[in-house]
Structure 1
Amino acid sequence: MNEASLYSKYSGLQKTDAKFVVDNYLRLVKWKSHEKILDVGSGDGDVLLEILLPGLPPDFHRLVGTDVSDDMVRHARNKCKHSKVDFVPLDIATSSIPPEFYEYFDHIFSFYCLHWVPEQRRAMKNMFDMLTPGGDMLLAFLASNPIYDIYENMAKSNKWAPYMHNVKKYISPYHHSEHPENELEDILKKEGFVSHLCRVEDRTYTFPSFQILSKSVAAVNPFIKKLPDDEVDNYIQDYVKEVRKLESITVETCNNNDNEEKVHVPYKLFVVFASKVV
């Protein structure tokens, strides 16, 4: 990801889906008193502080937000004023979780993180190991999105291929799956979870203009930081051209003085609720 401040400003899609999941699925979590909670991939901290935190029982003991990016962790720490909330660096696909986190958390949440993780089984194992017996987790991440088709198409061009040679690393492991729920259910069960819900939700997000789309691309596109500075604008322009080519994406011209175009992007979102049996 690019700098945390840019991500914070142009993360409307992530916040919209986090709110959707909290509003519709947080009821599945069974709360007790003084519990410890983990948020995996908390990024700039906005979702944790603005969407997750207000839904928690007031007597929780501790809420820990993690991210693989030190920049994101620093950004989140700087804006956090809650005495029971902290942010720490953590790669959810690490080969060794911090010993102090082993069977430490009663609940784990993750919003818009796990599609960045090729090592799905390792991530699920680590979350299993960090949960207390009887603990549970609520996850939301992309199963598929046209953005991944754009990555693949641009990676085939002679112009951008040198900067996108590891494109598969940045595509959801389930993007080309015919039955993503079955694949994920199988991983959950193999790592010891009882799966109560493993659903793919059909979602659509509307960018109000191509300008906002471009800013959002710059905020999360993993290849931009590899480009020479004088090629970034050209890359984004080519990206927008690829958006216009995709039949799955609908562009709507607005009847205003600027003739702005709304961009409707359909995608599939995993919602998962699973527990660790006592």
Structure 2
Amino acid sequence: MNQAFLYSKYNGLQKNDATFVLKNYFRLVQWKKDGNDAILDIGCGAGDVTNDLLLPFLPKNFGKLVGVDLSEDMVEFARTRYKSSKISFEQMNIEAEDIPVDFEEAFDHVFSFYCLHWIQDQRKALSNILKMLRPGGDMLLTFLASNPIFEIYESLSKSGRWESYMENFKNYVSPYQYSSNPDKELKELLEEVGFQTQVCKVEERIYVYPNAAVLKKSVTAVSPFYNKIPENLQADYLSDYMTEVKRLNLVETKDNNNEQRINVPYKLFIVYASKSL
């Protein structure tokens, strides 16, 4: 539960991009004329993006909003913090072989913010989303195509000191990290699965951490490896992490006060697609 609290506090990058996508692409979503739409948020995490960012955009007369996440701790945290008759949180693996029976064709809209880059079997995840949408339903997704953080994971995993804690690092690297044409690759997959794709694009963006301390807080909250490392070694891990950040030339020193901010360039998928009637 402490990890969920940290995630909700230090997931600035995720919130920044969720806000960007909602402000610029939410208008594409096709709402039912009679209201009562059923909405699913995949990878809801601690529930803060679902409740604080997505919910205010929704029509007042929507039917229900369900947030799902693989992490039981995240789901329990969200249930405790955000209580509403219209919002519920459930544990679910979007990559599972079978989706819950009561989720089949149960939703008019699917949203997902910063989840699908963790999914290695993209075809299975997208097929499951298609199964959960009602005919004519649509989805708005955003997730990482590539990010220097994945290079840092790979580099640290090859260090003898951290290798045993990061054996499965490839499971936490976007499947499109090294793709030369990620939007084309994803669009082809969407259409093979059965979606009608209106938007599938990659936005080149930069997120600025004001200083190393803020970046380190984010790492402690978001990294899938940090909590696997013994407490007496965690400070050393963060130090090595910062060494990699500097190696990738992500640190900018401001001359006037010697502050070091971290500029992280990355590529962000934005997808809007629908299920045929």
**TM-score, scaled relative to structure 1:** 0.96
Contact 1:2 1:218 in 2 (8 A): no
Q: Do residues 190 (structure 1) and 192 (structure 2) align?
A: yes
Contact 1:29 1:136 in 2 (8 A): yes
- Tell me the percent identity: 52
* Cα deviations by residue, 1:235-276 (Å, 9 ceiling, x for unpaired): 0110001000103x24233634xx331111110000000000
The amino acid that maps onto 1:227 is I
Q: Tell me the residue number matched to 1:252.
A: 253
* Cα deviations by residue, 1:95-132 (Å, 9 ceiling, x for unpaired): 11000000000000000000011111110000000000
- Partner-residue secondary structure (3-state), 2:265: strand
- In the alignment, the residues of structure 1 paired with residue 264 and residue 256 of structure 2 have an alpha-carbon distance, to the nearest angstrom, of 20
- Partner-residue secondary structure (3-state), 1:206: strand
- Deviating above 4 A after TM superposition, structure 1's stretches of 4 or more consecutive aligned residues are none
- In the alignment, the residues of structure 2 paired with residue 254 and residue 221 of structure 1 have an alpha-carbon distance, to the nearest angstrom, of 31
Contact 1:11 1:216 in 2 (8 A): yes
How far the C-alpha of 1:39 sits from its partner, in A, is 0.2
The amino acid that maps onto 1:251 is E
Q: Tell me the residue number matched to 1:218.
A: 220
Q: Do residues 8 (structure 1) and 11 (structure 2) align?
A: no
Unaligned residue ranges in structure 2 (runs of 5+)? none
The amino acid that maps onto 1:272 is V
- In the alignment, the residues of structure 1 paired with residue 170 and residue 2 of structure 2 have an alpha-carbon distance, to the nearest angstrom, of 19
Q: Tell me the residue number matched to 1:19.
A: 19
**Residues 64 and 270 from structure 1, CA distance in 2 versus in 1: closer, same or farther, beyond 3 angstroms?**
same
The amino acid that maps onto 2:264 is V
Q: Tell me the residue number matched to 2:79.
A: 77
**TM-score, scaled relative to structure 2:** 0.97
Alignment of 1:156-167 (within 5 A): 156-167=158-169
Q: What is the root-mean-square deviation of aligned Cα atoms in Å?
A: 1.3
- In the alignment, the residues of structure 2 paired with residue 267 and residue 35 of structure 1 have an alpha-carbon distance, to the nearest angstrom, of 33
Contact 2:203 2:267 in 1 (8 A): yes
- Partner-residue secondary structure (3-state), 1:3: helix
2:134 is matched with which residue: 126, 132, 135? 132
Contact 1:155 1:164 in 2 (8 A): yes
- In the alignment, the residues of structure 2 paired with residue 254 and residue 121 of structure 1 have an alpha-carbon distance, to the nearest angstrom, of 48
How many pairs were matched up? 275
- Partner-residue secondary structure (3-state), 2:241: helix
How far the C-alpha of 1:47 sits from its partner, in A, is 0.6
Q: Tell me the residue number matched to 1:28.
A: 28
* Cα deviations by residue, 1:134-177 (Å, 9 ceiling, x for unpaired): 00000000000000111111111111112212111110000000
How far the C-alpha of 1:30 sits from its partner, in A, is 1.1
The amino acid that maps onto 1:231 is L
How far the C-alpha of 1:2 sits from its partner, in A, is 7.4
- In the alignment, the residues of structure 2 paired with residue 264 and residue 145 of structure 1 have an alpha-carbon distance, to the nearest angstrom, of 12
Contact 2:219 2:226 in 1 (8 A): no
- In the alignment, the residues of structure 2 paired with residue 103 and residue 265 of structure 1 have an alpha-carbon distance, to the nearest angstrom, of 39
